[in-house]
């Protein structure tokens, strides 16, 4: 079975003491992950080494960056390169989060460069895709998400795509008062897998972990993760509460 993943995205939250406390509370309840399961903690840049240290030697628990630069090292004040992440032994980086696309105007071409730089450095992308409300209301979400994937990822080889991590974010269901059902999540995840199958074949598509990123909580995680093409979640607000995130970790498919 492909990897089942609970990925925490802390976004720009917590001071250092709060970050340390949250990690300690989670690790008090979860020392390591079972075979085939992973928990990934995407934390602000200043906390990466602290989290990396706390997770050291623990099976299936990993740190991740929330972003990387679209350039290599150089005169880019304030940026963090994929090579720098590799030098810190950070194994994962989120690329293309909806907030980066919306607030920082990162288009599919920028995300192609980030993906290539991360892979060249040996850092595995967690690549995000998803449609806003007006696209969902128009009924063109499948074509929209397919375009995000094909324009940013389809230059990669089958070997590079094998075992890749995709995170689907229904932006229309985040902070809008609208709710995405587990069936709607499965519908899009199935479509995403079919897009990869058409390009790379069923075996490669079947190796890809597709995470759901639409307001996952401990209360709904088991229902969402129980769908056949949902391989875990990319979790925002609920990842800032130890009991919530541990409940989500426990809800991954066995």
User: Strand, coil or helix: what is 165?
Assistant: strand
- List the helix and strand counts (H, then E) for the chain: 12, 8
Q: Determine the Cα–Cα distance for residues 20 and 16; give it in Å rounded to an integer.
A: 6
* 20 annotated active-site: no
Tell me which of 97, 99, 106, 244 is the catalytic residue. 97
Both structure tokens of 74: 């150089």
Greatest CA span in the chain, whole angstroms? Answer: 48
Vertex 220 angle, CA 219 and 223, to 5°: 130
The share of the chain scoring above pLDDT 70, in percent, equals 98
Q: Using one digit for the tens of pLDDT, what is the confidence trace for 62-80?
A: 999 999 999 999 999 999 9
The per-residue pLDDT for 204 is 98
CATH of the domain at 36: 3.20.20.70
Q: Is the pLDDT of residue 194 over 80?
A: yes
The total domain count for the chain is 1
Name the one residue in this structure whose structure tokens are 């995407």: 42
* 169 annotated active-site: yes
Q: Determine the Cα–Cα distance for residues 224 and 84; give it in Å rounded to an integer.
A: 35
Residue-wise over 80-105: b if at least 16 C-beta within 10 A, else e? bbbbbbbebebbbbbbbbbbbbeeee
Q: Determine the Cα–Cα distance for residues 250 and 214; give it in Å rounded to an integer.
A: 18
Residues 6+ apart with CB under 8 A from 22: 14, 240, 242
Tell me which of 99, 106, 131, 169 is the catalytic residue. 169
The per-residue pLDDT for 177 is 60
Band of pLDDT at residue 176, cut at 50, 70 and 90: low
Could you tell me the residue range of the domain that residue 225 belongs to?
A: 4-250
In contact, 35 and 67? CB cutoff 8 Å: no
In contact, 30 and 60? CB cutoff 8 Å: no
Report the 10 Å Cβ neighbour count for 200.
21
Q: What is the mean pLDDT of the chain?
A: 96
Give me the DSSP letters along 99-148: HHHHHS---HHHHHHHHHHHHHHT-EEEEEE---HHHHHHT-HHHHHHHH
Q: Using one digit for the tens of pLDDT, what is the confidence trace for 123-141?
A: 999 999 999 999 999 999 9
Q: Is the pLDDT of residue 252 over 70?
A: yes
Residue 113 CA, chain-centre distance (Å), reads 18
Q: Determine the Cα–Cα distance for residues 133 and 19; give it in Å rounded to an integer.
A: 33
How far are the Cα atoms of 109, 147, 238, 252 from residue 208, in angstroms, in the given order? 22, 18, 24, 16
């Amino acid at each position: 079975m492909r990897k089942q993943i609970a990925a925490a995205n802390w976004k720009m939250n917590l001071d250092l003491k709060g970050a340390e406390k949250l990690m300690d509370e989670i690790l008090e309840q979860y020392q390591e992950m079972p075979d085939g399961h992973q928990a990934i903690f995407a934390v602000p840049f200043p906390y990466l080494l602290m989290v990396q240290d706390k997770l050291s030697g623990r099976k299936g628990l990993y740190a991740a960056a929330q972003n990387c630069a679209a350039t290599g090292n150089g005169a880019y004040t304030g940026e963090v390169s994929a090579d720098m992440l590799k030098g810190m032994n950070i194994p994962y980086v989120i690329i293309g989060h909806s907030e980066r696309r919306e607030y920082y105007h990162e288009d599919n071409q920028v995300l192609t460069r980030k993906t290539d730089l991360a892979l060249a450095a040996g850092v595995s992308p967690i690549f995000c895709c998803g449609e806003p409300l007006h696209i969902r209301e128009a009924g063109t979400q499948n074509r929209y998400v397919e375009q995000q994937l094909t324009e940013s990822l389809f230059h990669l080889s089958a070997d590079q795509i094998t075992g890749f991590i995709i995170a689907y974010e229904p932006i229309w269901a985040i902070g809008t008062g609208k709710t995405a059902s587990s069936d709607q999540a499965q519908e899009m995840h199935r479509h995403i897998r079919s897009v990869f199958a058409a390009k790379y074949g069923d075996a490669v598509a079947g190796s890809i972990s597709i995470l759901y990123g639409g307001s996952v909580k401990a209360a709904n995680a088991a229902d969402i993760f129980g769908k056949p093409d949902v391989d875990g979640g990319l979790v925002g607000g609920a990842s800032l509460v130890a009991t919530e995130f541990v409940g989500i970790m426990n809800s991954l498919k066995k």
